[in-house]
Amino acid sequence: MSVARPRLVRMSDSNQETIGSPEPEPNASLNRDPEGWVTGDEPMTAAQRSYLDTLAREAGEELPADLSKAEASKHIDRLQQRSNRVSGERDSSGS
């Protein structure tokens, strides 16, 4: 699977460099498979570790502390599905 890389282009009305495209790409998606990430096998970032720790504590789960970026992303996605923090739902106590 090829990995999409940002393209630098010049805006026609200025010399300012931009990323992206002036027209939407039909198959562009932010939901890329972490297995295809170029840096997916690197250790998770500090931000991933902190957020994953919060989500895992809320879910009552323990996870290995040596996850890769891709593994951490998958756990974050999974735990977000179960979290009131992300879904916006409140429990019956109103908290």
Query: Which residue carries 């789960």 as its tokens?
Result: 61
- Kindly state whether residue 73 falls inside one of the protein's structural domains: yes
- Kindly state whether residue 71 falls inside one of the protein's structural domains: yes
Instruction: Identify the DSSP state of 9.
Output: E
Domain count, the chain: 1
CA angle 82-88-94, nearest 5°? 100
Tokens encoding 77: 């996605």
pLDDT value at residue 3: 53
- Kindly state whether residue 18 falls inside one of the protein's structural domains: no
pLDDT value at residue 45: 93
pLDDT value at residue 95: 42
CA angle 81-83-54, nearest 5°? 120
- Kindly state whether residue 34 falls inside one of the protein's structural domains: no
Structural domain boundaries enclosing 73: 46-59+67-86
Rounded CA separation 39/70 (Å):
8
Give residue 92's pLDDT band: very low, low, confident or very high (50, 70, 90): very low
- Kindly state whether residue 37 falls inside one of the protein's structural domains: no
Residues belonging to the chain: 95
- Kindly state whether residue 94 falls inside one of the protein's structural domains: no
pLDDT value at residue 33: 72
- pLDDT tens digits along 30-87: 666 777 777 778 999 999 999 999 999 999 999 999 999 999 999 999 999 888 776 5
Considering only residues 22 and 8, tell me which one the structure prediction assigns the higher pLDDT: 22
